[in-house]
Structure 1
Amino acid sequence: MELETLEFRNDLALYLVEDSSPRRSLLLTYDILWSRYDTFLSSQETAAMRRAFNAQPIVERAFRLIQRHEQAVLNGDRERLQNLLNEIDIVLPQIRNLMVNNFTGPASIEQRAFLDEKIKVMYAAMFILTLVLIFFAFRLYRNSSKQQELAWQDRLTGLPNRNYLLDCLYKAVQQNRIHTLLLIDIRRFKDINDLMGYEQGDKALTKLASQLNSICLPYGYPCARVSSNEFAVLAYSDGRHLSFFTQPLCDSLRRAIDSIYPGHRLSLAIGIAKSLDVDTHSGNSHWQFANELLNNADLALMRAKQAPVTKDSIDTFKTEYEQEAQQRRRLRDELKAHLIDPYQDALYVAFQPIVSADPNRLGCEALVRWHHPEYGPINPELIVNVAEESGLGQRLGTWILQQVHLALNTEWQSINTHIDIAVNLSDSFFNESLIADVITIFAKHPEQRKQLIFEVTETMTIDDIGRFSLLMNQLRDVGIRIALDDFGTGWSSMAVLNHLSFDKVKVDRSFVTGMADITRQQVLVDTICHMAHQLGIHVVAEGVETREQLTSLQQMGVDEFQGYFFAKPLSAIDFYAFCIDYLNQKNVLLSKQSIKNLFNINNF
């Protein structure tokens, strides 16, 4: 501050002496000095210095001096600038004394001590900051190592995980190394968790993983756990002579499974895909190649899991598997489009008659059908499977109910009070929103809800009987009846009847077929019929195709009949014609000849 005051004083004196001296230098030093004084008087950092040696009044006097002559400096008024020079010469020694007092004598010693103390504090702060940085660096390193471990390793079993497997596949492709991928699924493993608890299930997985690792280690084959009960092995072989490895693998895992859960038959399913089957000329990247191989192995595993669950199964990928998968993906996309297109006619509902012992009533089962322009008629079971896999099960069920409502109030309007309609429910459609869907669809004709019969399977009930019972009661509250479909084919049919109350049971067609020739089947159907009637449940027989079957079933007291003997599934308008003929003939079941005349299956 003292030097800048002196520099301004010299520039001012020079300007007053030389007439031609430019004012630019004077203005610059004036602005700098103004800023210096202002900073000294207002800054927090200079507060201590302002209090020392009575500095503040001295600097304020000097600052007011240059402020008072601002216009003179800007206009170059030499007379007033001369006065400014005289007054600065008075103030300058006082400012110089401030500098001298600040840097010499006791004040200087105090300042140096103050600076030394500040330096010590600064070093201490730097030391603490360094320790904090080291601590956070250690934490970061430890977390990074843990994240790295989690990224490549399964925490439960200690095996590598899916990411590690994909990396191995990528490297094998990159190195042009022939390899074969095996995906191994422990079927019905959920039973261990359900019956023995998740802790026992985790122990079983750990033991299986250890056994798998011990098998693969001598061959140098990497293995991994890719999902809950699914493992993978990457064999560096072309797959044509892999039995030297797969057979010991199956035997070893089989022994491990039997030792884990000897009282229950778990089984192995293995899907195999070879790198030689993947097209290397398609221009795919190494990652795409690796993912395609994994997809092929998964398709082969799905095929292996279609085998009976009671035995081990192995399947190797074939080209047609991918074609079928592409077909399913295409059907999924087209099904989604059909369900929202009111003008499409490829997807439709057919109605198969269900003949009742009551001549004034007639039933039918609503069956989804799809005539594809390229694939032809699509298997109804495939339609439902595709819908369930793609999350369209509930939407498909709602669409079927809408078609039933439409038929009742258009083609069948004149006779709809005589008709009961059975609708098969898929797993995803039987949920809490089903009742709201039914109420919404039949809002204008709530009385027609009493004509609906929802058919459920045994497997839908066993997961949560309490929830299922609650939903059944809610459906009955709005007038809907419930039928147990495919009765007798499951292991717990009697337990289901014991815990749940049904309005009807449908005897599976497998019991009706050959009933006239096999006494055992007759006894079973007769027993089912007698037991159901004792419980107040109506009995419906599926798969009635011959007069002998119909006669036997009538003698057993079966209440309703369904099958090709009466008619194949019909369109809504054809079913209407069927109903008119049936309702015009009373006691049709009492006349064998009239049955043959009325229900000529060749006409449908």
Structure 2
Amino acid sequence: MTIKQIIFRIAIILLIVEAIIMLVLDFLALNLDWITEAIVDALSLTIFATPIIYKLVIKPFVLMRETAENRVTYLAYHDELTSLANRTKLLEWLDHSIKTSYGKNNISIILLELDRFKDIQDTFGHAIVDNLVLDVAERLRCNVSGVHLFAKIDTYMFAFVVENILSDDDIYLKSKQIITLVQTPISCKNGHAFNIEASIGISRFPKDASNKTDLLKYAYTAMRQAKTISKDKISFYTQSLTEMSQRHLTLEEDLRHAIENNEFHLLYQPKIDALTNKLVGVEALIRWEHPKNGLINPVDFIPLAEETGLIIPIGEWVLQEALKQQEIWQKDGKEPIVMSINLSGRQLQIEHIDQILRVLNLTPVPKKYIDFEITETYLMEDALLSQMLLEKLHSTGVSLSMDDFGTGYSSLAYLKRFKVNTLKIDRALIQDIEEDKNDFAIAKAIIAMGHTLEMKVVAEGVETEEQSRMLKQISCDYIQGFYFSRPVHPYAVYSSDNYTY
């Protein structure tokens, strides 16, 4: 029943009430004309005023309620920030598409997650992140064609539904287009330019899954696998990924208890002066002795620690343990050497830097004997923030090394701005210098550049006498690698015959 119908009925009722009152007064033979007139006037006024009341009061209220109801209905199926379809809409779409395909149509989900956005949010706040997400969403909406549904299903996660693409190559090319669009730098009003990275997971119906839940779950599993890929970061779902995901979850749970169960320990790889063969420092390297699976390679658990945020407590443990060991050596009267400690990009965030500074303030180790190694790739992800945080660290008196130099951006413009004392040439450039003239030339150029910028240069991954000789020939300052020593326990650092100390 509409509002107008209700008002019409009210008017009829009022007329009936008026007639009844008139009959009652007439039956009682009461001469109350003034009451009769008052009632007639009141009822007439009510009937006359009803449309006005409807127009000025009731109708706006009804419209406001209908607008609110429509808004609630809209938000049930759309993301409020971007106005894209949301997870509920996606699942309904998939359910309908799968049920009506009768197994004949191919349906693919391309799941896209923006990487490191939690770190950006923690550093720059929600407003900046919202603007970045809006920019990415609009860029994808305007430039990605041939998509049946484009949805935002989580804070930093988007989904594309593509139907009737038979070739995995075509799906890969579309995914590659999406990644390329996302990676185009975005400039914000605050002056920062953000280089955004993303990971994509792909699952297919009916090849991988037969229902909407599994289809989305498998795309997510593939997307997590994509995060471990250094190039492209696009992964198709396979059954082996489910098994890997289960192992991944088990490993994550074990990793959470590893610190409290005292399952980690540190080994130390010596750094040697290339000219004198004298021990000048060590790099602290973490190892995990799993109670059931034995020694687990850092390559297998460090990326997991980064992804889950467990790298923060693990990194703090490494820092404290390395400095404790340095104290022990000093108390034992050992010749002071520089302790190099790897810092994760997750640790070098505004909300975590004070934690590092607190540990540094508590240690009696002179700051000139503490060195932090930071990967080149991390430094370039947000150059302005990196510069600010490195200056904060450098002001304490510690030295800073750029790790894996030569394999990433290797930007000289940025290098001048960072408070870096040492460059570490990546082992990938060292392992073939005996046979590859180009690698040798690159190593020589890095060393010359480092010296010009008044930096020391370390070559890591040196495994042969000839590599060591060639590096000495081009004036490399320090050498680190199996040729002099593998990573060793603390007691073995000062007891080798391969170098002096």
Q: TM-score, normalised by structure 1?
A: 0.63
| 2:142 counterpart letter in structure 1 | K
Q: Say if 1:140 and 1:406 are closer, same or farther in 2 by CA, change over 3 A.
A: same
Alignment match, 2:146: 212
Task: Work out whether 1:349 is the aligned partner of 2:266.
Answer: yes
Alignment match, 1:395: 313
Task: Work out whether 1:525 is the aligned partner of 2:443.
Answer: yes
- Cα offset for 1:556? 1.9
Q: Say if 1:560 and 1:388 are closer, same or farther in 2 by CA, change over 3 A.
A: same
- Cα offset for 1:503? 0.8
- Cα offset for 1:507? 0.7
- Cα offset for 1:421? 1.1
Alignment match, 1:50: none
Instruction: Kindly indicate whether the alpha-carbon contact (under 8 Å) linking 1:360 and 1:418 is maintained by their aligned counterparts in 2.
Output: no
Indicate which of 246, 249, 253 corresponds to 1:326: 246
- Cα offset for 1:167? 1.6
Which structure exhibits the higher relative contact order, with contacts defined as CA atoms closer than 8 Å and separated by 6 or more residues?
2
The structure whose residues are more often helix, as a share, is: 1
Task: Work out whether 1:111 is the aligned partner of 2:35.
Answer: yes
**How many percent identity over aligned positions?**
24
- Cα offset for 1:121? 5.4
- Cα offset for 1:142? 3.5
* Distance in 2 separating the partners of 1:349 and 1:142: 63
- Cα offset for 1:511? 1.3
Task: Work out whether 1:233 is the aligned partner of 2:167.
Answer: no
Alignment match, 1:577: 492
* Distance in 1 separating the partners of 2:166 and 2:220: 22
Instruction: Kindly indicate whether the alpha-carbon contact (under 8 Å) linking 1:539 and 1:558 is maintained by their aligned counterparts in 2.
Output: yes
SS of match in other structure, 2:146: helix
| 1:167 counterpart letter in structure 2 | E
| 1:182 counterpart letter in structure 2 | S
Task: Work out whether 1:184 is the aligned partner of 2:110.
Answer: yes
Indicate which of 465, 485, 494 corresponds to 1:567: 485
* Distance in 2 separating the partners of 1:295 and 1:253: 18
Instruction: Kindly indicate whether the alpha-carbon contact (under 8 Å) linking 2:270 and 2:487 is maintained by their aligned counterparts in 1.
Output: yes
Alignment match, 1:7: none
- Cα offset for 1:543? 0.2
Deviation readout 1:192-222 (Å, 9 max, x if unpaired)? x99xx9897555422334x224xxxxxxxx5
Alignment match, 1:272: 203
SS of match in other structure, 2:447: helix
Alignment match, 1:547: 465
Indicate which of 89, 99, 111 corresponds to 1:164: 89
Larger deviation, residues 467-476 vs 354-363:
354-363
Instruction: Kindly indicate whether the alpha-carbon contact (under 8 Å) linking 1:187 and 1:309 is maintained by their aligned counterparts in 2.
Output: no
Alignment match, 2:11: none
SS of match in other structure, 2:299: helix
SS of match in other structure, 1:486: strand
- Cα offset for 1:269? 5.3
Alignment of 1:483-502 (within 5 A): 483-502=401-420
Instruction: Kindly indicate whether the alpha-carbon contact (under 8 Å) linking 2:425 and 2:460 is maintained by their aligned counterparts in 1.
Output: yes
Alignment match, 1:145: 70
Alignment match, 1:285: none
* Distance in 1 separating the partners of 2:88 and 2:107: 15
- Cα offset for 1:478? 1.6
Instruction: Kindly indicate whether the alpha-carbon contact (under 8 Å) linking 2:175 and 2:234 is maintained by their aligned counterparts in 1.
Output: no
Deviation readout 1:83-140 (Å, 9 max, x if unpaired)? xxxxxxxxxxxxxxxxxxxx966xx333344444444555567555544333333333
* Distance in 2 separating the partners of 1:430 and 1:408: 23
- Cα offset for 1:366? 1.3
- Cα offset for 1:323? 2.0
- Cα offset for 1:355? 1.9
Deviation readout 1:252-302 (Å, 9 max, x if unpaired)? 7878999999999x9995612445655x9xxxxxxxx63333111222244
SS of match in other structure, 1:418: coil
| 1:420 counterpart letter in structure 2 | V
Deviation readout 1:215-247 (Å, 9 max, x if unpaired)? xxxxxxx53334568433264xxxxxx763555
Instruction: Kindly indicate whether the alpha-carbon contact (under 8 Å) linking 2:282 and 2:337 is maintained by their aligned counterparts in 1.
Output: yes
Instruction: Kindly indicate whether the alpha-carbon contact (under 8 Å) linking 1:503 and 1:537 is maintained by their aligned counterparts in 2.
Output: yes
Q: Say if 1:496 and 1:256 are closer, same or farther in 2 by CA, change over 3 A.
A: closer
Instruction: Kindly indicate whether the alpha-carbon contact (under 8 Å) linking 2:201 and 2:221 is maintained by their aligned counterparts in 1.
Output: no
* Distance in 1 separating the partners of 2:83 and 2:391: 48
Indicate which of 220, 223, 226 corresponds to 2:149: 223
Greater Rg by CA:
1
- Cα offset for 1:401? 1.0
Instruction: Kindly indicate whether the alpha-carbon contact (under 8 Å) linking 2:107 and 2:165 is maintained by their aligned counterparts in 1.
Output: no
Indicate which of 304, 327, 339 corresponds to 1:386: 304
Q: TM-score, normalised by structure 2?
A: 0.74
Task: Work out whether 1:337 is the aligned partner of 2:257.
Answer: yes
| 1:322 counterpart letter in structure 2 | T
- Cα offset for 1:382? 3.2
| 2:297 counterpart letter in structure 1 | N
* Distance in 1 separating the partners of 2:307 and 2:183: 30
* Distance in 1 separating the partners of 2:180 and 2:208: 34
- Cα offset for 1:480? 1.3
- Cα offset for 1:346? 2.0
* Distance in 2 separating the partners of 1:314 and 1:447: 46
Alignment of 1:232-251 (within 5 A): 232-233=160-161, 235=163, 244=166, 246=168
Instruction: Kindly indicate whether the alpha-carbon contact (under 8 Å) linking 2:323 and 2:365 is maintained by their aligned counterparts in 1.
Output: no
SS of match in other structure, 1:111: helix
* Distance in 2 separating the partners of 1:127 and 1:337: 72
Alignment match, 2:396: 478
Q: Say if 1:528 and 1:399 are closer, same or farther in 2 by CA, change over 3 A.
A: same
| 1:365 counterpart letter in structure 2 | E
SS of match in other structure, 2:251: helix
Q: CA RMSD, aligned part only?
A: 4.2
| 2:432 counterpart letter in structure 1 | G
SS of match in other structure, 1:399: helix
The structure whose residues are more often strand, as a share, is: 2
Alignment match, 2:61: 136
Mark the runs of 5 or more structure 2 residues left unpaired by the alignment: 1-28, 117-127, 186-194
Instruction: Kindly indicate whether the alpha-carbon contact (under 8 Å) linking 2:357 and 2:393 is maintained by their aligned counterparts in 1.
Output: no
* Distance in 2 separating the partners of 1:307 and 1:393: 19
Deviation readout 1:132-177 (Å, 9 max, x if unpaired)? 3333333333443344344335689987443222123345677895
| 1:464 counterpart letter in structure 2 | D
* Distance in 2 separating the partners of 1:444 and 1:112: 95
Q: Say if 1:416 and 1:232 are closer, same or farther in 2 by CA, change over 3 A.
A: farther
Deviation readout 1:521-541 (Å, 9 max, x if unpaired)? 222212211221121111111
SS of match in other structure, 1:408: helix
Larger deviation, residues 161-170 vs 524-533:
161-170
